[in-house]
Amino acid sequence: MRSQKPRPAFLMCRPTFYGVEYEINPWMDVRRQPDHPRAIRQWQMLRNMLQAIGMHVELVRARPSLPDMGFTANAGLLHGDIFIPSRFRYKERAGEEVFFTSWFFRRGYRIRPLPAGHHFEGEGDALFVGEKLFLGYFHRTDIRTHILIGEILEVPIFSLELVNPYFYHLDTAFMPFGPESAIYYPKAFDSYTLRILRQNIPDLIPVNAEEAHYFACNTVFVGPKGKQARHAVLSAPARRLGKILEGRGIETHPIETSEFIKAGGSSKCLVLNLGYTY
């Protein structure tokens, strides 16, 4: 059992073996490979930036033949001292599960696996707004996992259907930045889901189509739990969103993630919250 007090930290994984080696989302094209040295530089910039704004970064070791392991948001979901490991939809990523789970196990977290065959892709599809847990489903995560996750963590859950294949994980189209606030891309959701969002989150900021396609929703927000974020590490082309956030007193830190967008991810996909969630 962990006794350590949670501190503002993220889990990251150096993209040592990163590449587009298969196609499991519409952004991935094996003929359009990332520039590897550039990807490493972009990842390092993100890590430096997060440390500069006061975050501690823990690392899990990259493994060969698991090119997407850098996207640690998909490791699982941590809440308090409970870690729910992911069960990846595609066999291409399933090999990551054991390495992520053992990282948490070795550090004394309580591991609560979902039943076999219940697909769940971690924080990529599970984001807290205050104490409410918003969960995405359809492309990766199965809706039947939502109720189990709510029971394990003893939190209220809200299921959001993702209807656009380009926005296949919840964190590509939705990101909380305070106890009652989130940015979102409306076209990633159907009208019923939009109603759930609008009824339960008082402060919702829409992102436009162009910026959403630069992964503007995949912003890393940093700030004291329970309050509005103080910092936003966001996709450099998302200038409009940057201005809106600055207008709300949030300091913005634009960052290039072009090489990761080729695999369908950006800044937030590259980090997993360790005891510091909205």
- Catalytic residue positions, numbered: 169, 269
Name the segment binding ligand ARG (CB under 6 A); options: 9-17, 22-30, 129-137, 240-248.
22-30
Side chain identity at residue 50, one-letter code: L
74 binds ligand ARG (CB under 6 A): yes
Task: Rank residues 171 and 259 by Cβ distance to ligand ARG and give the closer one.
Answer: 171
Structure tokens at 32: 């359009």
Residue 84's beta-bridge partner residues? 77
Size of the site for ligand ARG (CB under 6 A): 16
Neighbouring residues of 112: CB distance < 8 A, sequence distance ≥ 6:
82, 83, 84, 152
The string of DSSP codes covering 134-159 is EEEESSSS-THHHHHHHHHHT--EEE
Candidate residues 96, 142, 171, 211; the one interacting with ligand ARG per rule CB under 6 A: 171
CB 218 within 8 A of CB 266: yes
71 binds ligand ARG (CB under 6 A): yes
Candidate residues 145, 172, 181, 252; the one interacting with ligand ARG per rule CB under 6 A: 172
Least distance between ligand ARG and beta carbon 23 (Å): 9
Task: Measure the CA–CA gap between 224 and 231, rounded to whole angstroms.
Answer: 10
Task: Rank residues 58 and 248 by Cβ distance to ligand ARG and give the closer one.
Answer: 58
Cα three-residue angle 277-115-263, rounded to 5 degrees: 55
Binding footprint of ligand ARG on the chain (CB under 6 A): 24-25, 28, 68, 71, 73-74, 93, 124, 169, 171-172, 263-265, 269
